[in-house]
Structure 1
Amino acid sequence: MPAEPDIASVAQAIGEPARAAMLLQLMDGDAHTARKLAAVAGIAPSTASSHLRRLRESGLVQVAEAGRQRLHRLAGPEVAQLVETLAALAPPRLPERLQPDPPAGPLLRARACYGHLAGQLGIDIAMALREDGVIGDLAPGETGVLHSFDHPLLVALGISELPDAGPAVRGCLDWSHRTVHLAGALGTALLTALLGAGWVRRRPGGRVLRITETGRRRLGELGLV
């Protein structure tokens, strides 16, 4: 008989605060050095190596050589989904009245979530596409189909096709608002197109996305901000 999954070992790997901070940083979908992840976690680079080794051994993080650098990223979308779901269940680390507005406020408005758009902007776009019949209703982790590219937002961003790999649409539970934003190939295409059009910009050193003046105007014209 197959053995039961060892959930406890994965939970223990995630449950250490420094490792949890590293995983949250890797939710931006990029690859990072141990030094960068150490800074995010507030620990020494020498200490970060042992934490990253534990995350690799647990199947949560993978590493690749890039010249002299070793770059770490999440092991796959299933890990990102796990981290986002845990974040939605977790209480804030500080009472709400003590949470700093920067960067908490911008993080809630728009951020990268493993290659797709999260935060209030991601939720608003998912809601608009549902209401206009482009996608169906989605529950967290549920996959769906894209019914049409004929939508003002998709047309404005030049999105007219998606890669065949993976689901076109997937619901991702947004920890900051306890509702669903859009993942899957369409979610990735939207974030890529928003960045390419200059409607949003990445803020250095984190997952926060800044809506530019151009983006605010164009999204406003579409009723999305």
Structure 2
Amino acid sequence: MVAEPDIAAVAQAIGEPARAAMLLQLMDGDAHSARALATAAGIAPSTASSHLRRLCDAGLVIAAEAGRRRLHRLAKPEVAQLVEALAVLAPPRLPPRMQPSTPAGPLLHARACYGHLAGQLGIDVATLLRKDGVVEDMAPGSTGVVRTFDHPLLAALGVTELPGPGPAVRACLDWSHETVHLAGALGTALLTALLEEAWVRRRPGGRALRVTEIGRQRFAEFGLG
């Protein structure tokens, strides 16, 4: 007899504002200390451990020792997909410092989504690569292939192959605009290259990305902003 999934257990782990804020912070794809996650959640560091233990017990977060530090990250890509899907349905309820000041705020324009580019800029890049035949149109959550690396944007960023295993391309539903941006190996390669080439920089204390002056010039060459 196969038991049905206990989705209530996962929902209960997520369904607490501090833990939800920690998961949103971990959506940047990096590993964070309990103190940093406490700051992101707006709670005292002394209470962060119990929240993180609950997230670990639910299989949503993993922790590992790094020297004298204990760092936490999302347990697997499926957790990021779940958080992004929930964000599409959820009303705004982020810690005040993470709220965009306007509808076109930094978080909505460009952000890291578990290792790939999201926000309006991520959507615009996805639209360009679909239009030019690099990837095909995909429904949210579906996977695809890279048809060609022969594209000026990929050439400018030095993206000539895909890193690691997993799907080449996955259509990730962007909660802030309710359309898709590119995840999968191609999405990872693009964000990695954008950071390495200094077209974008991480803003401190969150997932939002800042487009640099070099980035504005280079994006403009491709009709992106």
Q: How do residues 29-108 of structure 1 correspond to structure 2 at under 5 angstroms?
A: 29-93=29-93, 100-101=100-101, 105-108=105-108
Deviation at 1:100, TM superposition (A): 4.8
**Partner secondary structure for residue 220 of structure 2:** helix
CA displacement, residues 150-170 of structure 1 (integer Å, 9 cap, x when unaligned): 111001101111135101100
Q: Partner of 2:28: helix, strand, or coil?
A: coil
Q: Which residue of 1 aligns with 2:163?
A: 163
| TM-aligned CA distance change 1:221 to 1:151, over 3 Å | same
Q: CA deviation at 1:141?
A: 1.1
Paired position in structure 1 for 2:114: 114
Q: Secondary structure at the match of 2:92?
A: coil
Superposed displacement of residue 136, structure 1 = 0.4
* 1:127-184: CA deviation from partner (whole Å, max 9, x where unpaired): 0000111100111110000000011100110111113510110000101101100000
1-structure distance, mates of 2:185, 2:135? 13
Q: Which residue of 2 aligns with 1:215?
A: 215
- Is residue 2:188 matched to residue 1:188? yes
Question: Unaligned 5+ residue runs, structure 2?
Answer: none
TM-score of the superposition, structure 2-length normalised?
0.95
Alignment coverage as a number of residue pairs: 221
Residues 46-99 of structure 1: per-residue CA shift (max 9 Å, x gap): 1110000000000000000011111000001000000000001111238xxxx6
Does residue 149 of structure 2 align to residue 149 of structure 1? Answer: yes
Equivalent-residue separation in structure 2 for 1:164 and 1:119 (angstroms): 24
Code of the aligned partner of 2:146:
L
Q: How high is the sequence identity, in percent, across the aligned residues?
A: 79
* TM-score computed with the length of structure 1 as normaliser: 0.95
Please tell me the residue identity of whatever aligns with 1:206.
G
- C-alpha change, 1:43 and 1:104, in structure 2 (3 Å) is farther
Counterpart for residue 137 of structure 2: 137
1:21 matched to 2:18:
no
Distance 2:146 2:164 in 1: 12
Consecutive unaligned residues in structure 1, runs of 5 or more = none
Q: State the AA in 1 paired with 2:135.
A: I
Amino acid corresponding to residue 196 of structure 2 in structure 1: G
Amino acid at match of 1:112: A
**Residues 78 and 115 of structure 1: is their aligned pair in 2 closer, same or farther, counting only changes over 3 Å?**
same
Q: Is the 8 A contact 2:199 2:211 kept in 1?
A: yes
**Residues 174 and 180, structure 2, Cα contact 8 Å, conserved in 1:** yes
Cα RMSD (Å): 1.4
Report the CA distance shift for 1:201/1:102 in structure 2 as closer, same or farther (over 3 A).
Answer: farther
